[in-house]
Amino acid sequence: MKRSLKLILASALAAATVGTVAFFALPASAEAASFTVTNSWSTGYQGEVTVSNPASSKINTWKVQLTLPAGSTIGQAWNATLATGGQTFTFTPAGWNGTIAGGSATSFGFVVTGTGRPTSCTVNGQACTGLTGAPSATATSAPGKTPTSAPATATGAPKPSATTASPTRTATAGGTPLAANGQLKVCGAGLCNQNGKKIQLRGVSSHGIHWFPGCYTGAAMDALATDWNADLFRIAMYVQEGGYESDPTGQTAKVNSLVDMAEAHGMYALIDFHVLNPGDPNLNLARAKEFFAKVAARNAAKKNVIYEIANEPNGVSWAGIKSYAEQVIPVIRANDPDGIVIIGTRGWSSLGVSEGSSSAEIIDNPVNATNIMYAFHFYAASHKDDYRAEVQKAAASIPLFVTEFGTVSASGDGAVDTAGTTAWLDLLDKLKISYANWNFGDKAEGSSILKPGSCNAGAFSGTGALTPSGQLIRSRIRTPDDF
């Protein structure tokens, strides 16, 4: 059972306790922060803190300290850097979210082992006052790698209505997709779970994580995991255009925090090194080696990580892409020998079709590595029967993963092509090819899943905040998995 407990830290001078809800108070004119227990189970709970800046001027950094009673500890956090000193846990910015503009906010989350709620707090060094309650936990499983039961409704239970956000997850033998499938591996021309069963993962891709940070919060992950029943979250980290090239430390930290968030919600995380302009990934080879060495070392023990080493190579030969892959993959393998690696293909990951070639160049000259897959991208209004025929042919020989697709034109905008999208997804379902839809964001364009302003409003569940594209994709992803 999922419970919600709110602990409000506001610019007030008094504190009160109502039932099991605890209230902290900050001195006047301080930043405000709110703490919510977003999930709980018999041995712990998941919390989220939102730090807001009600003033008109920006704040340049923040620090939240929570003290837990003996027997409770925090071992995992996302969207923040965690430091532990005894029973005091200090959260500072992840690198990308330190500055908070006037009237804005940022959030971070964590998992507590133990049922004790915070007994004290400080925000930017100012002491909070008040007492906490400790409600009993009633859920039976923790989020993460090994929950023992499904966190929500079983197969056959009624779906929520279009206007509600009631959590629902199709029951599987292991609960969440991550728990049911564990460490993935390539099997022949398919994707298999820890039991050797060929499976299909279905989920969404972020837009650029440096452009839309408000779209990738704990609340968003809650919606994807429980309302959408998503198996996968693709983390699109642009290399140029203000991305990794401009802030390697901050972007790496953001990627790692989203990996943790996906893991805590029982989903797989696809780390996307989003090369686009320039299209030759070799021009970013040094950056790729640096980035993947760090994220592979940091996440090697996790079972939910998949690596995508080049988003959409373009204007470069297959030989050039193959050379790049055979230099980057050993960097990953030095730290993570088991993680699946996905390689972008020629012509914006079209298997070469968009540049007049075909999958034959890959089949005849594959990358010299194991446990790898090849990326294919499509946009339903632009890529029709000839592209579908190429996918069907290639899927008989090489393992494919649709790491990005859109319901609209290749520009990312325009009207939804419902018939084209349906034809594509029916084919992918038939072939058990995994996919991630572009994009879980609220940019004013046709491919966006969310309506403009939805992320700042925290509106992620149900269909009220969804665009026509979002409604179509949600309806497909919510159908039962075959694990």
Q: Which of 31, 308, 404, 445 is labelled catalytic?
A: 404
- Return the amino acid letter for 274: H
Contact 376, 401 (CB under 8 A): yes
- The residue length of the chain stands at 483
Q: Cα separation of 118 and 120, whole Å? A: 6
**Half-sphere exposure in the Cβ direction for 274 (13 Å, CA):** 26
**Dihedral (Cα; 171, 407, 268, 163), 10-degree rounding:** -50
Cα distances from 221 to residues 258, 268, 302, 310, 467, in angstroms, run 9, 12, 18, 25, 18
Q: Cα separation of 242 and 437, whole Å?
A: 23
Of these residues, 31, 312, 390, 445, which one is catalytic? 312
Catalytic: 308?
no
How would you classify the pairing of strands 305-308 and 400-406? unpaired
Confirm if 226 and 264 have CB atoms less than 8 A apart.
no
Query: Helix/strand/coil (H, E, C) string of 379-446?
Result: ECCCCCHHHHHHHHHHCCCCCEEEEEEECCCCCCCCCCCHHHHHHHHHHHHHHCCCEEEEEECCCCCC
Residue 217: CA count within 13 A, CB half-sphere? 25
Rounded Cα distance, 439 and 423, in Å:
19
Closest to 118 in 3D by CA, of 47, 200, 176: 47
Contact 207, 311 (CB under 8 A): no
Q: Which residue has the tokens 């006047």?
A: 28
| C-alpha to C-alpha distance for 24 and 322, rounded to whole angstroms | 56
Q: Taking a C-beta distance cutoff of 8 angstroms, is the pair 348, 389 a contact?
A: no
**Does residue 452 contact residue 443 with C-beta atoms inside 8 Å?**
yes
Whether 404 is catalytic:
yes
Q: Cis omega (within 30 of 0) on the bond before 278?
A: yes
Structure token digits, residue 239:
């290399």
Active-site residues, by number, are 312, 404
